[in-house]
Amino acid sequence: MFIINCPFCGEREQSEFKAGGEAHIERPKQPTELSDDEWAEYLFMRKNIKGIQFERWNHIHGCRKWFNMVRDTSNDEIKAIYKMGEKPPVK
Amino acid sequence: MSKNLRVKTSKFVDETYRVSFKFNGSRYYGYKGDTLASALLANDIHLVGRSFKYHRPRGIMTSGSEEPNAIVQLHNNSDRTEPNVRATEIEIYEGLEASSQNCWPSVNFDIGGINNLLSPLLPAGFYYKTFMWPASFWEKYEYFIRKSAGLGKSPTTPDPDVYEHEYIHCDVLIVGAGISGIMAAKTAAKNGLKTLLVDEKPNLGGSTIYQNSEHFKINNQNSGSWLEKEINEIKKIDNLDIRIRTSVAAFHGYNFLLARENLTDHLPIEQRKNKTRQKLLKIRAKKVITATGSLERPLIFDNNDRPGILLSSAIKRYADLFGVACGEKNIFLTNNDSAYETAISLIQKGIKVEAIVDNREEIESKLLYEIEKNNVKVFKGFTIVNTNGYKKINKVSLMKLSKDGQKVIGSKINLSCDCLGVSGGWTPAVHLFTQSGGKLKFREEDQVFIPKKYSSEQISIGACNGDLILEDIIKNTPKYLKEFLNIKKTDYDNVEVFSSENKSKRNIWLLPSDKILGKTKSFVDYQNDATAKDIKLALREGFRSIEHVKRYTTTGMGTDQGKLGNMHALGIISETAGTKMGEHGTTTFRPPYTPLTFGTIVGRNVGEYFDIFRKTPMHEWHLKNKAEFENVGQWKRAWYYPKNNENMFEAVQRESKAARESAGILDASTLGKIDIQGTDASEFLNRVYTNAWSKLAVGKCRYGLMLNEDGMVYDDGVTTRLGENHYIMTTTTGGAANVLGKLEDYLQTEWPELDVYLTSVTDHFATISVCGPNSKKIISNVIPDLDLSDENFPHMSFKNTKIGKINCRVMRISFTGEHSYEINVQANYANSVWEKCMEIGKDFNITPYGTETMHLLRAEKGFIIVGQDTDATMTPIDLQMDWIVSKKKYDFIGKRSLYRSDTIKDDRKQLVGLLTDNPNEILEEGAQIVADVNKSPIEMLGHVTSSYYSPNLKKSIALGVVRGGKNMMGKKLIIPMENKTINVTVADPVFLDKENKRLNA
Amino acid sequence: MKNRYSIFSLIKNAFSYHENWEKAWKDPTPKKEYDAVIVGGGGHGLATAYYLAKKHNMKNIAVVEKGWIGGGNTGRNTTIIRSNYLWDASAGLYNHALKIWEGLSQELNYNVMFSQRGVMNLAHNLQDVRDLKRRTHANRLNGIDAEYLNTEEVKKFCPIINTSPDIRYPVLGGTLQRRAGTARHDAVAWGYARGADEMGVDIIQNCEVKAIKRNGDKVEGLETTKGFIKTNKIGVVAAGHSSVIANMAGLKLPLESKPLQALVSEPVKPIIDTVVMSNAVHAYVSQSDKGELVIGAGTDDYISYSQKGSHDIVEGTLNAILELYPIFSRMRMLRQWGGIVDICPDASPIISKTSIKGLYFNCGWGTGGFKATPGSGDLFAHTIANDEPHELNAAFNINRFVSGDLVDEHGAAAVAH
């Protein structure tokens, strides 16, 4: 189980957190303008990367804040953590 | 009376404290400090169990957790019975009762032993090749296979013991308290680090502590005495926590380790009362030092499994630590120096050593000299080709090894014996290291896998790191510690060490025999009866990966997890395939290292602590009034309140009638409540609900429907505008936490520009709902100051008010269709308000009703329950709730999905009312709805989602979803039950008061 | 069939000390070109190859496997087989598989030990009861054997379950599918491999796909660690690694790969003779022929290819096991492991063509793929051979995520395994 360094609270057990899947998938600003295909792309299609992945986590049993994480999904090593809205650290 | 083989007093067992125990029904004695194995051996008992497949007699083979054979059932037929307990681990206590497993009628005469004769028909994987005829017979064969498989017996009554969890955070965890572990513990602790030292054994010091020989010296003392002083010293250090009888089970990522601390298994049963049996230690260590030592390897030769054949190191441990001789005529088979150490130890104690059979041709060891001085015959370059003795070894046959070690040559020599010690060298215990993700490398010189690259803040030291002799441990350990702990010096930087041991070894994975392999039984996995020929058969049949071989032959799949035999399996595979060790992979050592009791893993989270109970402030009142409860999520909700032996149906009919005829009262406190504040609160609600919110006046309430982004109904509830920038949202009981989570997600990640703050207030407010034609009268007495006129307080509005000194929010909203008020009050005042309502309502027959009546009343009005009438495939359009979906709003969560090619279809399943032709027939919720029962297959149009007998309408009513149901009004459909069909008519889902007259009645 | 397995061949071979058994499958080096290549040597992939050769006469085909056959989820699951799914499409798919299971040992001449010991699903709250009844009715009308049991009947069928009304989430009822059961997972992979090999299929282990070669919207071959293989039909059955292969072809799939864990106890004499699943408290248990309790845990919520999950999941599962079976408290966990499961948003699989010609995917089986192995292989083979889905897998196309016509087993009855 990971130790996650919440950018607001510091290091905490993984059990306090909830994973939120791939990061930086922005909700379309004008959904009605999208084709069914484009909407499905936003809704369901995922990179599901093996390796360095940018993803969202929520400190659900803590400060309830969402933040981003860079993690190697092949060995679960956490590479970086940054706040929502911040630029991802370069890979 | 059996022989007494206790040959020497030992300081590790208390000979003043005699312990009686039973084995297979007979009474024996041992001493406090004995394991069951040492006590049995002292009584000259070797035969302990039978093997899994061939039911061969098996004895004690090791002295630790790697034991494959000597596993027993403890306390048969009692609530503390336990299968598969290793005799080598369990410490004896007064009253211990153990019995052999997997044998019938007894371990001495086991019918299953016939399998040994049938063994030519039972090679690896035989079951994949047979039991296929006749086709329907597998389950009959299987019945017998299952009966004969398994080892011990599961308990059949609940466990009387208690287990606990302990969380430990430390700077350094040291696993293993052998010599290197002790050195590490002292070094870490003396440098001010919060240190935890654990060892699976009841005493510290590993195998060095009983080392008492001229041949192994540290600072000129024999190594055991030197270590004892070190141990005495570390026991005094405050910041060092030492846990004995504690086995690390798993080494997970981020230095998270699980260990089992055994607290009572060594105590007489009557002393265990009110004590925790085992603790699961959940350890987070900044640094981990693995010092788990090494396991001695057996050797693979024909009939290498007889009782009386032990690892050489086990014989030494039994003699040195427990003062027990495993035999009176000992022979050793070895390929390295270790057996000589054991032999010397035995000779010192006056135990006879007949001979040493050494695979090595040339031996340059001081130990050899010592042995030969004692007139023990050493057969150099020899090996054992066979053993004899059914229930205990009585003879070995030796032959000379060819130069390349591939064959045996010359003539056979037979020697009689009653105990054979084997030593195939040592395997570093890298299990935990690999569990943590560490990679191994293979060291050719002595054919061992050792750690290569560390995956986290950890190192391995001592034997588990490949330092297999004392000299290397003493020399290398301080070096590793200084680097790892980042310190300048240790107490051990200038320790002098003298060791007579020589590293030379002649490793032959499968020793040659004079017979062809097919005629031998050379066991690699003792417990599962996997032999060398099984491994070769697997290779012959095309299985190449070690994992394939393991699975096909079941090597390494026993309760010992292949601690002894896995290396040999790998060796035989690479020898046979002509490849390098490691090329076929090493098997994955899966956690736990030693089996872990379910109870320990679970700790206190059983029974009443399995999951929390959420109770409303009126819970005690409900209890007092004999409510039956329903689990809704973690909440306990009053389900119905039976009176005078009513059944549920009768109670619900009474409650429902009362609510419509006079007054009903419901505890609605479990509904989720989210306080929403901020200048953009209205805009936020616009985005999360399907309907529009900007124009909702302060003091007004509105029903909202929330979708998932996929357009499917997610949650619903009434939201009230408390102020310009302040709303309170209610959610379903089960959905509360998820809704809050989802709203936070959008707010923080998609719409951070919105000025909105969300706070869960579910537990802070309780909700009392009073409904019915007399509700107004009741509330006017409960809250006399409040003007309840329709002008001042119309339906779908809210008032801030007081009941006495208690602040409360009253909403005039209705889930029943009746004139109705919901009083929201701070939770700790709620019960008094509830009781006040009851008291005042007495004159109006105010009737408490539970969730079942609530469901019935709302169904009469055609109101949906999310999760019951919807199932994550229903859009608001499907629910015929088009009215709530704003056409004007540019966007809201899920809007786009409502216009996909499938969601715009006309013939989706749609919510309708259903009336049975027979008004007394109540449909079953979940029953399927069809149009034609004569078609095959029958096409299912939908199902019944809610169904009740309405006492107010005096007929059964139901809601259901039906394909194209929107356009089926009045159409006849059929509900096909198992033994009948029920005719129904599609109806308007609003069964009662379509004009909503009752709301203002 | 050469090398036919039976008690007679076993006796015959005993006389030669089992030294004359032939290889169950060969170990070929890849040819330059195949008519089709299956990526992934798990049960589904091997079954696909088997049926391509057997029913569609495509014999010049290969299965490429990164590691060893059956080493992924085939060898890591809890071997539950059942077909009592809610929706018509799922019921059709899984029941097709179940029918093949019933004759599979004989068909493959390999004992896969399919044992119809029944699968029971428990209800712990009123909505569970409604959902299970709904499913029972739907199953019955779909020709799938299904019974709804009340609490007493649950207890009678599996006496060791704690059906006391006083437990935190009492058992309110359950469903039983008697034709359901378990099988020996390894044997399924090995049996299909042996069968496929015999018909000429090349099973190539330790062969990892590195790239997919495309020419416009058509596939042309695979770059592997054993060289380039030319082919114009590629069937990907890579389970947890499906997205990795899809990304090579420039495709995205609606999948997330997550850790799923399972564990076994030490072996004991028979104590539970059926399979019991409880979704509400997350406990799935059966007993293997060897005597081990086989216990399935849930998935973690994060994406991972590490084949490790978090301890909390295992602990939670055992909490539930002891809630329902307090007698197992003194039993011991012997082994615990993790797999990588690829999960679709609607918890139903994809057996489908893609936008790239000649590239087919069979994935998204989530936590429940083992039971479908024979049916999945059969239908995927049909899809590859005809470039058109069979009617039984038509609903499981990728396009459903665009149209919205999902097969929402997850939302409907939340039955995971």
- CB proximity B611 to C under 8 Å: yes
Length of chain A: 91
Same domain, B831 and B918: no
Cross-chain Cβ contact A46/C253 below 8 Å: yes
> Domain containing B683 — which CATH number?
3.30.70.1400
Confidence of residue B103 (pLDDT cuts 50, 70, 90): confident
Q: For testing the chain A interface, which of B745, B896, B897 should be mutated: the one with the most A CBs within 10 Å?
A: B896
Closest CA to C392 of C93, C86, C97, C44: C93
Which chain B residue's Cα is nearest to A84?
B749
- Give domain status of residue B611, yes or no: no
Instruction: Report the relative pairing of strands B57-59 and B26-32 from DSSP bridges.
Output: unpaired
Decide: B460 and B451 in contact? Cβ < 8 Å. yes
Same domain, B418 and B432: no
- Give domain status of residue B740, yes or no: yes
Amino acid type, B177: A
> For residue B140, which phi and psi values (nearest 5 degrees)?
-75, -45
**C-alpha pair distances (Å), B214 with each of B500, B994, C334:** 9, 101, 41
Per-residue pLDDT tens, chain C, 417 aa: give them: 557 999 999 999 999 999 999 999 999 999 999 999 999 999 999 999 999 999 999 999 999 999 999 999 999 999 999 999 999 999 999 999 999 999 999 999 999 999 999 999 999 999 999 999 999 999 999 999 999 999 999 999 999 999 999 999 999 999 999 999 999 999 999 999 999 999 999 999 999 999 999 999 999 999 999 999 999 999 999 999 999 999 999 999 999 999 999 999 999 999 999 999 998 778 899 999 999 999 999 999 999 999 999 999 999 999 999 999 999 999 999 999 999 999 999 999 999 999 999 999 999 999 999 999 999 999 999 999 999 999 999 999 999 999 999 999 875 443 333
Same domain, B361 and B284: no
| Cα–Cα distance, B125 to C110 (Å, whole number) | 11
Confidence of residue A57 (pLDDT cuts 50, 70, 90): very high
Same domain, B93 and B239: no
Same domain, B722 and B691: yes
Length of chain C: 417
Phi-psi region of B414 (alpha: psi -120 to 50; beta: other; left: phi over 0): beta
pLDDT digits (tens, 9 = 90+) for B628-674: 999 999 999 999 999 999 999 999 999 999 999 999 999 999 999 99
Of residues B585 and B115, the one with the higher pLDDT is B115
B86 pairs with which residues across the strands? B71
| Cα–Cα distance, C38 to C233 (Å, whole number) | 8
Closest CA to B996 of B798, B784, B794: B794
Same domain, B788 and B829: yes
- Give domain status of residue B134, yes or no: no
Same domain, B553 and B661: no
Decide: helix, strand or coil at residue C342. strand
Place of tokens 């000259």: B44
| pLDDT at site C413 | 42
For chain C, list the contacting chains (3+ Cβ pairs, <8 Å): A, B
Across all residues in chain B, what is the average pLDDT?
A: 95
Same domain, B246 and B355: no
- Give domain status of residue B129, yes or no: no
- Give domain status of residue B153, yes or no: no
Q: Chain A closest CA to B907's CA: distance in Å?
A: 20
Q: Over 90: is that where the pLDDT of B341 sits? A: yes
**C-alpha pair distances (Å), C59 with each of C37, C50, C55, C201, C234:** 11, 9, 10, 6, 14
- Give domain status of residue B376, yes or no: yes
Across all residues in chain A, what is the average pLDDT?
A: 95
- Reading the block at residue B341, the tokens are 């150490």
Same domain, B396 and B407: yes
> For residue C185, which phi and psi values (nearest 5 degrees)?
-60, -50
- What is the number of other CB atoms lying within 10 angstroms of the CB of residue B955? 16
| Cα–Cα distance, B973 to B958 (Å, whole number) | 13
Question: How many structural domains is chain B composed of?
Answer: 7
Chain-centroid distance of CA B88 in Å reads 25
Residue-range domains of chain A with CATH = 3-25+34-83 (3.30.2270.10)
DSSP state of B884: G
Confidence of residue B3 (pLDDT cuts 50, 70, 90): confident
Q: In chain C, what is the straight-line distance between the N-terminal and C-terminal CA atoms, in Å?
A: 36
- 3-state helix, strand, coil split of chain C in percent (to 5) is 35, 25, 40
> For residue C44, which phi and psi values (nearest 5 degrees)?
-65, -45
Confidence of residue B190 (pLDDT cuts 50, 70, 90): very high
Supply the range of the domain harboring residue B550: 522-594
The secondary structure of C236-274 as a DSSP string is E--GGGHHHHHHHTT--BS-EEEEEEEEEE--BS----S
Q: Over 80: is that where the pLDDT of B96 sits? A: yes
Which chain C residue's Cα is nearest to B875?
C404
| Cα–Cα distance, B317 to B477 (Å, whole number) | 24
**C-alpha pair distances (Å), B624 with each of B91, B619, B620, C102:** 51, 9, 6, 55
Q: For testing the chain A interface, which of C242, C311, C402 should be mutated: the one with the most A CBs within 10 Å?
A: C402
Same domain, B390 and B305: yes
- What is the number of other CB atoms lying within 10 angstroms of the CB of residue A47? 17
The mean pLDDT value for B943-947 works out to: 98
DSSP state of B300: B
Cross-chain Cβ contact A84/B752 below 8 Å: yes
Which chain C residue's Cα is nearest to A39?
C402
- CB proximity A85 to B under 8 Å: yes
Same domain, B433 and B484: yes
Place of tokens 């059914």: B390
- Reading the block at residue A89, the tokens are 């650290």
Q: What residues of B are in contact with residue A21 (Cβ under 8 Å)?
A: none
- Reading the block at residue B324, the tokens are 């027990």
Instruction: Report the relative pairing of strands B57-59 and B47-50 from DSSP bridges.
Output: antiparallel
| pLDDT at site B204 | 97
Q: Chain B closest CA to C214's CA: distance in Å?
A: 31
Q: For testing the chain A interface, which of C302, C304, C315, C343 should be mutated: the one with the most A CBs within 10 Å?
A: C302
Q: Over 70: is that where the pLDDT of B965 sits? A: yes
Place of tokens 């339906």: B795
Q: Over 90: is that where the pLDDT of A90 sits? A: no
Q: Over 80: is that where the pLDDT of B24 sits? A: yes
Q: Chain A closest CA to B372's CA: distance in Å?
A: 54
Cross-chain Cβ contact A84/B744 below 8 Å: no
Cross-chain Cβ contact A66/B749 below 8 Å: yes
The secondary structure of B47-113 as a DSSP string is EEEE-TTT--EEE---SSTT-SS-EEEESTTSTT-EEEEETTTPBP-TTEEEEE-S-SB-SSSBGGG
Same domain, B408 and B557: no
- Give domain status of residue B142, yes or no: no
pLDDT digits (tens, 9 = 90+) for B496-551: 999 888 889 999 999 999 999 999 999 999 999 999 999 999 999 999 888 999 99
pLDDT digits (tens, 9 = 90+) for B215-256: 999 999 999 999 999 999 999 999 999 999 999 999 999 999
- Give domain status of residue B151, yes or no: no
Decide: C125 and C137 in contact? Cβ < 8 Å. no
ipTM over 0.95: yes
| pLDDT at site C2 | 59
Q: E-assigned strands of C208-344?
A: 209-215, 218-224, 227-230, 234-236, 256-265, 275-278, 283-287, 293-299, 332-343
| pLDDT at site B502 | 87
Chain-centroid distance of CA B345 in Å reads 43
| pLDDT at site B581 | 87
Confidence of residue B113 (pLDDT cuts 50, 70, 90): confident
| pLDDT at site A91 | 60
Which sign does the torsion angle of CA C16, C19, C24, C27 carry?
Answer: negative
Q: Chain A closest CA to B257's CA: distance in Å?
A: 10
Which chain C residue's Cα is nearest to A53?
C303
